[in-house]
Structure 1
Amino acid sequence: MSAVLGRLLAEVDAVLLDFDGPVCSIFAGYPAPKIAAELVVVLQQMSASMPPALTDEQDPLEVLRWAGSTGNQATTQAVEDALCAAELRAVESAAPTRYGREVIVAARQAGLPVAVVSNNSAGAVTAYLARHRLAAYVSPVIGRAYADPMRMKPNPEPILRATQLLGISPARSVLVGDSLSDIEGSRAAGVRSVGYANRPTKADPFRGAGADVVIDSMGQLAEALIANTDS
């Protein structure tokens, strides 16, 4: 696997990182299910007619997706604003992913620009990077399109926007992500992908979705970047 990963990195000119997973666990101190429940309350305050199952939703992004599916822009904006505020609060207690920082630094030392492409808000990502002294290493930061959840990954748009801003061909870029939406979005964008299987059950689905490489530690990626720099 290390040889395959090394060859992939030798063939790309930029590293794109998903945020929640490869860089940190954004909801480590402010749990996602709690935020999802708070967003459901926002929907109730907006008198939205919700399916009963939504009250049990654990993922705040899925609550936002549902709000967007209603076609009611005021409702979608209310949920979006509440989620942005919650994410800014969450980054204060976010847990850095082991070796996530080393990957960012090693990529830059290897001469590769690093961008973040996230379904979280750009404001939250930027706040985390500044808080952890990583802002100087990462540009651009592409976050969730405001109140337009259909443009989140697996939609390839944010991935392609990152490559355009970097001035690098999608085929010469690699996205590292820990969800199927990252792998599927990468394929749709024509970008290589590394599946970060931070849970063992993710590995086979990532391979099935077409990930170029699957890793179970960001340390593997950091080591490969350092090896490519030294070679």
Structure 2
Amino acid sequence: MLWDFDGPICRLFAGHKAERVAAELVEWLELQGLRGLLTGPERRTLDPQVVLRAVGRRHPGSDLVAALEERLTQEELRAAASALPTAYADPLIRTWTAVGVRLAVTTNNSPRAARAYLGTRGLAGCFTPHLYGRTQQLHHLKPDPHCLNRALSAMGAAPSAALMIGDSASDLDAAREAGVPFLGYARNAAKEKPLRAAGAEHVVRSLEPLLLVLRSGRRAGRRHAPVD
């Protein structure tokens, strides 16, 4: 199981707002005398990843990208302390782990932030060591399948035998490129619309049905288990 982090597992910026982080990154660039580096829409974005990607496209592999990426990582670490768990994600993760399914995080967020959040929920052991996220090599961010391919290779899993749970078109595109079946998660209609528009065939509004199916399968397995 390959999980995107922000969305299917938690709402990372539930308490530490993403739009504020984006504005602070823009402000930091302006303080460096780099106001002209971003377009108007990029300066007004509510998504800090947009700011980072924009700088990465114009100065790939630079010290500027490294500094900006670290600033975003620090903001994500702060956000992890007030992140809101996605309903049913915790028990679903624990149940899948209990039945022997191997799990990995494949995210465009910092793996340090994912590790910090999972630690607060007692879930780090369900994923360790398979946490694959953003590095300073921004061309590896989804929709590039790099982090998915790293996870599959490390776990020795065939793409067709895996499943990715994601909440964005970039997750879907990365899964397609890696040859991994995809399940979309959308907590409301506004989140579901772009997934459907991108071609996602299977989208759920809640993780509860997955948990119920998994638990019913475990009960059936126990009922029909051979008796010594």
TM over 0.5: yes
8 Å CA contact retained: 1:176, 1:195: yes
Aligned position for 1:56: 44
Higher RCO (Cα < 8 Å, 6 or more apart): 1
2-structure distance, mates of 1:205, 1:33: 20
Gaps of at least 5 residues in structure 1 are 1-14
The alpha-carbon deviation at position 207 of structure 1 amounts to 3.6
Q: How many matched pairs?
A: 216
CA-to-partner distance for each residue in 1:182-222, whole Å, 9 max, x for gaps? 11110011001100011213334424434352110011222
For residues 183 and 12 of structure 2, what CA distance do their matches in structure 1 show? 20
- Residues 44-71 of structure 1: per-residue CA shift (max 9 Å, x gap): 1232222122221100111110010112
Query: Which residue does 1:4 correspond to in 2?
Result: none
For residues 30 and 160 of structure 1, the distance between their equivalents in structure 2, rounded to whole angstroms, comes to 31
Which of 23, 46, 54 is 2:32 aligned to?
46
1:193 counterpart = 2:179: no
Given that 2:102 and 2:127 are in contact with CA atoms closer than 8 Å, whether structure 1 keeps it comes out as yes
Contact 2:168 2:194 in 1 (8 A): no
CA distance in 1, matches of 2:85, 2:160: 29
Label 1:129 to 1:57 Cα distance change in 2 as closer, same or farther (>3 A). Answer: same
Q: Are 1:110 and 1:226, in contact at CA under 8 Å, matched by a contact in 2? A: no
- Residue 21 of structure 2 aligns with an amino acid whose one-letter code is I
The answer (yes or no) to whether the contact 1:68–1:76 under 8 Å persists in 2 is yes
Q: TM-score, normalised by structure 2?
A: 0.89
Question: Is the aligned partner of 1:150 residue 2:147?
Answer: no
Task: State the partner residue of 1:5.
Answer: none
Letter paired with 2:215: I
* Structure 2 unaligned residues grouped into runs of 5+: 221-228
Aligned to 2:192, which of 172, 193, 203? Answer: 203
Aligned to 1:26: 12
| Counterpart residue identity of residue 41, structure 2 | A
- In the superposition, the TM-score normalised over structure 1's length comes to 0.88
Correspondence for 2:97: 108
What is the rounded CA distance, in whole Å, between the counterparts of 2:154 and 2:141 in structure 1?
18
Cα distance, 1:108 vs. partner? Answer: 1.2
AA of the residue aligned to 1:75: L
Larger proportion of strand: 1
Identity across matched positions, percent: 37
Q: Which entry has the higher C-alpha Rg, 1 or 2?
A: 2
Correspondence 1:120 to 2:109: yes
1:137 equivalent to 2:137? Answer no
Aligned partner (choices 209, 214, 225) of residue 220 of structure 1: 209
